[in-house]
Amino acid sequence: MALIGRALLIMALGTAGFGIGASIHGARTGRREWVDAGRRSVYALAALATIAFAVLEDAFWRNDFSFNVVANHSSTTTPAFYKLAAAWSSQEGSLLLWVFLLSLWSSLILFLVRKRAWEITPYATAVLLGFAAFFTSLAAFWANPFTTSANPPAEGAGLDPLLLHPTMMIHPPMLYSGYTLLTIPFAFAVGALITGRLGAEWISLTRRFALAAWLFLGIGILLGALWSYTELGWGGYWAWDPVENAALMPWLLITAFIHSIMIQEKRGMLKVWNVSLVLGAGTLSILGTFLVRSGILDSIHAFGASTLGVPFVILLAVMVMGSIGLIVWRREQLRSDARLESLLSREAVFLFQNLVLVGMVFVIFWVTFFPLISEALTGTKVSVGPPAFQPFIVPLALILVLLSGIGPIIAWRRVTVANLRRNFALPVTAGLVTLFVLLFWPGGPSSRPFALIMFALAGFVLTSVVQELWRGVAARRAMTHDPVPLALVQLIRRNRRRYGGYTVHAGLAVLLVGVAASSSFQHSDDVILSPGQKAHVDGYTIRYVRPVETVSSQKIGFGAVLDVTKGGKHVTTVTTVRNFYPSQNPADGLIGKFFDTSNADSEVGLDQNLRRNIWTVINAQPTPLAPLINKGNSVFAAYAPQVMTKAAKLPPGQAQSAMNGLWAERDLAVTEIARRFVTHPWPTEFLLIVAPLVSWIWLGALIMGVGGLIALWPVPSFARRRERVASPARPTAPPPVPVREPV
Amino acid sequence: MHVVEYLVIFAILLAVVAFVSAPVRRALAGRSDDAGADQAHAGSLAELEAAREAKYRELRDADLDHRTGKLSDADYDELDRTLRGEAIAIMHDIDRATIDEQ
């Protein structure tokens, strides 16, 4: 099967190459047959990538350790779900996943526009196939997932324990879907620039794909944060890690793009800005992929050092120089058709919001790459952490929340002062009431001004969104007399972009309240406890009740049952475990390999509700067991060769039985040593955290996702809706400009 | 075993070549139904139709802004008149483009 896989990659590369040539030839000569052949190349590429990916998944499923990638990233004891997902835990498999997803999304857009945009589409097809050719050639020649070994091992190395987490298995496909979807607006923007068709068409073709990229990338980022919070054992959800930042930057740019294209659609303004945003987001998506794969910046999410850096740098250089060149070439056609009429208008708010988002991207980019910049200039790689981001990002986030509250309650083009007063009165009052209540709240957040301002602004945003929904419902009911729930559903259904967007704003406010509260008012303590001892964190008493241990063929776990009380009342009981996975290093010894501290992960003991999270993790170390482990290693180092020598002289059935006896004795020894964590417990380190409103982060993200789905859901075009009710229009008939109808 | 794999690879290759080259082969055989279509014209029409959709959306947005109290009556009347004028101009452009195409 590996041969078929390798052949599929070569065929995919050839198909992409042919498709690029056919699309460009078709576009330049106006011959549809070549354009169609180019589009079919994308479909064929999708089929080839799908088969290739199925071949790889099949190898993982069958534990075919002749595939090097399977031997290095899976084992017979890897659970079935993780076996299928292990394909993308490797550099090689994830490159194939990139090609697979890119070809699927490219096929979808090209199928949807197959009878439209005949000028732009061939160039967009060539660009999409260019990306596909790049990643396919990496998979075929640099990191081939179908390389095999003539002498496959009997057992694989297994999946990295940190990846044995449900979110981590969904996180990469979501993130890669976001990245690959970002290439679609990029490709159509390039097509629009080459052909000079820079009006509303390329935007209407790609808006939904930009939204889908925003949604998928957002889900990917969120799942990464959830994994970090529940798996990595440091108690946080966002570390400003280079790879996290690499996903956040294009997400912020595409957020700006989704807003600013509305200004271009309505006013014909910001054309240069919009193509720059979409080209920038596409380039940053490749930059993010480069960061994960090159190993140039240290990150827990990266694949480590590799030789893929140079091809990526070349691709990024082509994208940046090409984008700048195209924009300069088309600068005359990119001039705005209109000017900003008033600073008191929704387009002005969108413009400010765009500047804030781009400002955030600049800050994140600069600080993320500062270690490389400092190394290039001074020869010393300076480390930067979260404190370097916060002084800039926190004020920008506050402005962003403020603008997300103003946007929904201000009209396009211009507003009068009387309307402004009417629309702002309630939200501003709500924000001020929130501010004053919290300011004078006993033990409240007055000591943390940024958090306080964030809470007040969230009050403003949520009230403005609720007010908008209520007024919309009232306007609809005035015409239709529908009951309130029906009027609300119909209002949202008929204005999905608007109310989907408002829902996202509400979710953002909720999410950032969670971030502000949990980061400003978190209490944590790093303690060493023996069974029966207690620690006090933020009014909670946490008692180490008893140690627990688990031994299986996959891991050894040292855990603790913790009892949490407050004011003498029982609150919750949580269990946290430190798991050690067998190492593959023979130097660790036959017993020591099961107590490998470098191959460990944490199970967090977590009790969460909407008000607060109690987060605990044990950092148990097998150090006190070292004498026993060393003794066991010595005994088995002497005993095992004797058994193996004897077994070699026995018939196969008896030899297997002798070896099984040896492994059973070893397992018994490991179990007895591990049991000492319970029978002779030693003082163990714990990290205990009590943080308010962490769940609001996940809740806010969920609300944002729902809003994104509402905005993404397709609606029939106004023209088609009208055609259904109107008689067939003659070319000279009066144009059917919409009559007023229920909102 | 390898023979079967080579056969599978050959079959996939044939299928891909046949599928991808079908439009070109059809054109060479003189059976292309839309070769030589006026793409530039279709592009202009598509641009205008996208502009019309955006203008309709803007009209509806202005209407909703008015009904939810974000636009005064006077501002709304003026804006609505302007937008309808712009929409009618786009419709006339579409009509002209359609007649030219025919």
Instruction: Residue A239: name the closest of A227, A251, A253 by CA.
Output: A227
Does A243 have pLDDT greater than 60? yes
Q: Which residues of chain A have a CB within 8 Å of the CB of B5?
A: 1, 3-4
Beta strands in A441-539 (DSSP E): 523-529, 534-537
> For chain B, first and last CA: distance in Å?
60
pLDDT tens-place string over residues A716-732: 555 455 545 444 444 44
Amino acid at A59: A
Picking from A239-253, A490-504, A578-592, which range would have the lowest pLDDT averaged per residue? A578-592
For residues A543 and A532, the answer to whether their CB atoms sit within 8 Å is yes
Query: To the nearest whole percent, how much of chain A has pLDDT over 90?
Result: 63
Give the residues across from A569 on adjacent strands: A566
**How many residues can be counted in chain B?**
102
Query: Does B3 lie at the interface with A, CB-CB under 8 angstroms?
Result: no
What is the three-class DSSP state of A39?
A: helix
A734: confidence class by pLDDT, cuts 50, 70, 90: very low
For residues A241 and A299, the answer to whether their CB atoms sit within 8 Å is yes
**Interchain contact, A201 vs B50, CB within 8 Å:** yes
**Interchain contact, A200 vs B87, CB within 8 Å:** no
**Interchain contact, B53 vs A732, CB within 8 Å:** no
Determine the Cα–Cα distance for residues A445 and A741; give it in Å rounded to an integer. 48
> For chain A, first and last CA: distance in Å?
58
Residue identified by tokens 């196939």 is: A129
For residues A738 and A527, the answer to whether their CB atoms sit within 8 Å is no
Domains, chain A, with CATH or none: 1-158 (1.20.120), 531-682 (no CATH)
Q: What is the pLDDT of residue A416?
A: 81
Residue identified by tokens 């990295």 is: A160
**Interchain contact, B20 vs A204, CB within 8 Å:** no
Instruction: Give every strand in the sheet of A556-566, ordered side by side.
Output: A534-537, A540-551, A556-566, A569-580, A600-603
Q: Which residues of chain A have a CB within 8 Å of the CB of B95?
A: 731-732, 735
Residues 4-43 of B with CB under 8 A from A: 5-6, 8-9, 12-13, 16, 19-24, 26-27, 32, 34-37, 39-40, 42-43
Q: Which residues of chain B have a CB within 8 Å of the CB of A32?
A: 23, 27, 32, 34-37, 39
**Interchain contact, B59 vs A44, CB within 8 Å:** no
Nearest-Cα distance to chain B for A304, in Å, is 34
Residues 77-96 of B with CB under 8 A from A: 79, 84, 87-88, 91-92, 94-95
Q: Which residues of chain A have a CB within 8 Å of the CB of B63?
A: 740, 743
Q: Which of A201, A423, A735 sits opposite B70 (nearest CB)?
A: A423
In this prediction, residues A469-490 reach a mean pLDDT of 93
pLDDT tens-place string over residues A490-504: 999 999 999 999 999
- Would residue A63 be called left, alpha or beta, if left means φ above 0 and alpha means ψ between -120 and 50 degrees? left
Q: What is the pLDDT of residue A692?
A: 95
Residue identified by tokens 């799942």 is: A223
CA atoms within 13 A on the CB side of B100: 12
**Interchain contact, A731 vs B22, CB within 8 Å:** no
Give the residues across from A451 on adjacent strands: none
A741: confidence class by pLDDT, cuts 50, 70, 90: low
Q: What is the pLDDT of residue A295?
A: 66
pLDDT tens-place string over residues A211-224: 999 999 999 999 99
Q: Which residues of chain A have a CB within 8 Å of the CB of B39?
A: 30, 32, 118-119
Q: What is the pLDDT of residue B53?
A: 86
Judged on CB neighbours under 10 Å (0-12, 13-18, 19+), A257 is: buried
What lies within 8 Å, CB to CB, of A721 at 6+ separation is: none
Q: Which residues of chain A have a CB within 8 Å of the CB of B6?
A: 3
Determine the Cα–Cα distance for residues A273 and A269; give it in Å rounded to an integer. 9
Q: Which residues of chain B have a CB within 8 Å of the CB of A201?
A: 43, 46-47, 50
**Interchain contact, A31 vs B27, CB within 8 Å:** yes
Does A713 have pLDDT greater than 60? yes
What is the three-class DSSP state of A15?
A: helix
For residues A275 and A193, the answer to whether their CB atoms sit within 8 Å is yes
Candidates A33, A121, A346: best to mutate against B (most CBs of B within 10 A) is A33
Determine the Cα–Cα distance for residues A156 and A163; give it in Å rounded to an integer. 16
Q: What is the pLDDT of residue A731?
A: 43
Determine the Cα–Cα distance for residues A167 and A85; give it in Å rounded to an integer. 11
Does A468 have pLDDT greater than 50? yes
**Interchain contact, B51 vs A199, CB within 8 Å:** yes
Q: Given CA atoms A98, A104, A109, A115 in this order, what sign does their dihedral have?
A: positive
Q: What is the pLDDT of residue A17?
A: 97
ipTM exceeds 0.95: no
What is the three-class DSSP state of A529?
A: strand
Q: What is the pLDDT of residue A728?
A: 44
Residue identified by tokens 């714990």 is: A686
Instruction: Residue A290: name the closest of A277, A273, A307, A278 by CA.
Output: A307
**Residue-wise over A644-671: b if at least 16 C-beta within 10 A, else e?**
eeebeeeeeeebeebbeebeeebeebbe
pLDDT tens-place string over residues A294-315: 666 666 666 665 667 888 999 9
A741 or A366, which is more confident: A366
User: Cα dist. A431→A453, A464, A479 in Å?
Assistant: 9, 10, 32
Determine the Cα–Cα distance for residues A130 and A125; give it in Å rounded to an integer. 8
Instruction: Dig out the tokens for A492 from the structure.
Output: 């949202």
Instruction: Residue A95: name the closest of A157, A146, A59, A28 by CA.
Output: A146
For residues A288 and A249, the answer to whether their CB atoms sit within 8 Å is yes
| Nearest-Cα residue of chain B relative to residue A27 | B39
A413: confidence class by pLDDT, cuts 50, 70, 90: confident
Q: Average per-residue pLDDT in chain A?
A: 90
Q: What is the pTM of this model?
A: 0.90
Q: Which residues of chain B have a CB within 8 Å of the CB of A410?
A: 70
| Nearest-Cα residue of chain A relative to residue B72 | A419
Beta strands in A253-366 (DSSP E): none
Candidates A412, A467, A497: best to mutate against B (most CBs of B within 10 A) is A412
In this prediction, residues A431-442 reach a mean pLDDT of 91
Give the residues across from A523 on adjacent strands: A690
Determine the Cα–Cα distance for residues A647 and A522; give it in Å rounded to an integer. 59
For residues A500 and A705, the answer to whether their CB atoms sit within 8 Å is no
Q: Given CA atoms A441, A444, A447, A452 in this order, what sign does their dihedral have?
A: negative
Give backbone dihedrals phi and psi of A419, rounded to 5 degrees, phi first.
-65, -40
Determine the Cα–Cα distance for residues B15 and B7; give it in Å rounded to an integer. 12
pLDDT tens-place string over residues A393-406: 999 999 999 999 99
A4: confidence class by pLDDT, cuts 50, 70, 90: very high
In this prediction, residues A83-106 reach a mean pLDDT of 92
User: Cα dist. A307→A293, A373, A709, B100 in Å?
Assistant: 9, 21, 39, 56
| Nearest-Cα residue of chain A relative to residue B8 | A4
Nearest-Cα distance to chain A for B30, in Å, is 11
**How many residues can be counted in chain A?**
743
Instruction: Residue A543: name the closest of A337, A376, A670, A688 by CA.
Output: A688
What lies within 8 Å, CB to CB, of A155 at 6+ separation is: A65, A75, A76
Q: What is the pLDDT of residue B42?
A: 65
For residues A131 and A183, the answer to whether their CB atoms sit within 8 Å is yes
Query: To the nearest whole percent, how much of chain A has pLDDT over 70?
Result: 94
Instruction: Dig out the tokens for A240 from the structure.
Output: 């400003």
pLDDT tens-place string over residues A169-201: 788 899 999 999 999 999 999 999 999 988 888
A590 or A167, which is more confident: A590
Q: What is the pLDDT of residue A165?
A: 81
Annotate A425-452 with three-state secondary structure. Answer: HHHHHHHHHHHHHHHCCCCCHHHCHHHH
**Interchain contact, A423 vs B52, CB within 8 Å:** no
What lies within 8 Å, CB to CB, of A182 at 6+ separation is: A210, A213, A217, A250, A254, A281, A282, A285
The neighbour count for residue A458, using CB atoms within 10 Å, is: 27
Q: Between A and B, how many CB-CB pairs are < 8 A?
A: 178
Per-domain boundaries in chain B: 1-31, 38-102
Question: What's the CA angle centered on A452, arms A446 and A455, to 5 degrees?
Answer: 145
Does A144 have pLDDT greater than 50? yes
**Interchain contact, A30 vs B39, CB within 8 Å:** yes
- Helix, strand, coil % over all residues of chain B, rounded to 5: 85, 0, 15
Instruction: Dig out the tokens for A421 from the structure.
Output: 């007063």
Q: Which residues of chain B have a CB within 8 Å of the CB of A740?
A: 63
Candidates B2, B14, B47: best to mutate against A (most CBs of A within 10 A) is B47
**Interchain contact, A731 vs B40, CB within 8 Å:** no
DSSP state of A623: G
Candidates A6, A28, A36, A347: best to mutate against B (most CBs of B within 10 A) is A36
What lies within 8 Å, CB to CB, of A288 at 6+ separation is: A179, A243, A246, A247, A249, A250
Determine the Cα–Cα distance for residues A267 and A269; give it in Å rounded to an integer. 5
Q: Which residues of chain A have a CB within 8 Å of the CB of B27?
A: 31-33
Judged on CB neighbours under 10 Å (0-12, 13-18, 19+), A705 is: middle
**Interchain contact, B50 vs A203, CB within 8 Å:** yes
pLDDT tens-place string over residues B9-68: 999 999 999 999 999 999 988 765 554 455 556 667 878 888 888 889 889 888 988 988
Does A292 have pLDDT greater than 80? no
Determine the Cα–Cα distance for residues A406 and A427; give it in Å rounded to an integer. 9
Q: What is the pLDDT of residue A730?
A: 43
Determine the Cα–Cα distance for residues A731 and A520; give it in Å rounded to an integer. 64
Q: What is the pLDDT of residue A637?
A: 87
Q: Which of A15, A33, A120 sits opposite B26 (nearest CB)?
A: A33
pLDDT tens-place string over residues A326-344: 999 999 988 887 788 788 8
Instruction: Residue A387: name the closest of A523, A244, A239 by CA.
Output: A239
Instruction: Residue B42: name the closest of A642, A617, A115, A14 by CA.
Output: A115
Residue identified by tokens 């359609």 is: B98
Nearest-Cα distance to chain A for B65, in Å, is 6
B49 or A560, which is more confident: A560
Nearest-Cα distance to chain B for A125, in Å, is 14
Helices (H) and strands (E) in chain B, counts: 3, 0
**Interchain contact, A409 vs B70, CB within 8 Å:** yes
For residues A3 and B8, the answer to whether their CB atoms sit within 8 Å is no
